[in-house]
Amino acid sequence: SWRGLQIEGDGSSLKHIVVERVGHESDPYHPAVEIRAQNVTLKDATITANEWTAIKADETPSSATSSFTLRSSLISGNEWGIDARKTVATIRHTTVKNNDDVGVHFGYGASSPEFVNNTVSENGLEGVQVYGGTIHKFKDNVIKDNGQYGLDIFDSAYVYMDGDSQNKIFNNEYHEVLLDGGSEVYLGNASIDEGGYNEIYDTDEGYGSGKRYVKNRTSWTIPAEMNDWGGPNDDPVSSGMFDGPVDYEPFVTPPLTAFLSCAPADGGGTVSCYAGATGGGGNYSYDWNKDSCDGSSTCSVPCGGVYVSVTVTDDLGETASASTTTGDCDSCKNRLNRKCYGPQPLYASLDRQAF
């Protein structure tokens, strides 16, 4: 075992490095990489199988705030992943997974100009924990399958999105997003700086029994508009997904699609047409081009090439249409079909007998 790397030179740049097996069970408390300098760059680093923290960033020896950029790296199989304290940390295109404790921790005095395009998964406790720190641009990340909360924000911490933020936060053991202790998170609009179009859901357990997709323990209302809460199964959005003040409407839904089919004619001059829809906000209403059918999902329509159409409206006011043309009234392909022609003479069954 060894005691890892300590970086104290401003402007240091390390690329294509592997740091592993730092510390020993009898003397474990040595970070694999300790950053106590400004403008440090780590790129294409693999930091794995260490007894304690993979990367620890704190103030410089002169008590100034350190700063570093981490790109295109793998942090895996350590006790802690990244522990950022009095530092400015830019983290992009990095995977933090399978660490025993927290994946990424931003503590007091820590800020992140960009936390973008990262995957934080399968860590023993929280995926991303912001404890008194600030993330200014949280975008295009995947936070999944962690042992406690996906995104844990507390003690006067702040997390801001950017544009269509498109984070995926799902299948974490406890709440997907937890807000506590005078903190703020902007999941969508109101404004700093918009956010929205995140996917936040759980396909393993769903919500209930104490689990929520967003849990807000503060009195401040979380802006969380224009996000997808239904996941790949397009589950209906419910207030039960949230606890505390969360402004989750309007929300993103799968595209509303209408369909229409008509049964074959039965000899009575009409056909039964059936309308339906998928996606959208649910609670569909139906508007046919035949007024007597409005409000119903079925309609009786004359056969014989009649045009029939329906417009479906969901509870979000979105619409979709479908149309078809009814078939030939003579759908009786067999002379023996009594429903069409009534009883047939006996000789009809003998037409092709050999004598």
pLDDT tens digit string along 154-166? 999 999 988 788 9
Percent of the residues in the chain that have a pLDDT greater than 70, as a whole number: 88
**pLDDT band at 355, cuts 50/70/90?**
very low
**What does the block give as tokens for 185?**
């998170």
Give the 3-state secondary structure percentages of the chain, helix then strand then coil, rounded to 5. 5, 40, 55
**What does the block give as tokens for 194?**
């918009």
- Specify the pLDDT at position 64: 87
- Residue 173 pairs in a beta bridge with none
Q: How far, in Å, are 23, 58, 89, 304 from residue 54 at the CA level?
A: 11, 13, 15, 74
Average pLDDT, the chain: 86
**Mean pLDDT, range 287-296, rounded to an integer:** 87
**What does the block give as tokens for 312?**
């479906």
**What does the block give as tokens for 174?**
């406890």
CA distance 247 to 113: 26
In single-letter form, the type of residue at position 233 comes to: N
Its pTM stands at 0.75
Q: Counting beta carbons within 10 angstroms of the beta carbon of residue 354, is it exposed (0 to 12), middle (13 to 18) or buried (19 or more)?
A: exposed
- Specify the pLDDT at position 200: 94
Please say whether the beta carbons of 80 and 59 come within 8 A: no
Residues 6 or more apart from 114 whose CB is under 8 A from it? 90, 91, 92, 136, 137, 139
Give yes or no for residue 341 having a pLDDT over 90.
no
- For residues 81 and 342, the model is more confident at 81
Give yes or no for residue 180 having a pLDDT over 60.
yes
- Specify the pLDDT at position 26: 64
Residues 6 or more apart from 278 whose CB is under 8 A from it? 234, 254, 256, 257, 259
**pLDDT band at 304, cuts 50/70/90?**
confident
**pLDDT band at 70, cuts 50/70/90?**
very high
- Specify the pLDDT at position 350: 35
pLDDT digits (tens, 9 = 90+) for 116-154: 999 999 999 999 999 999 999 999 999 999 999 999 999
**Mean pLDDT, range 101-105, rounded to an integer:** 97
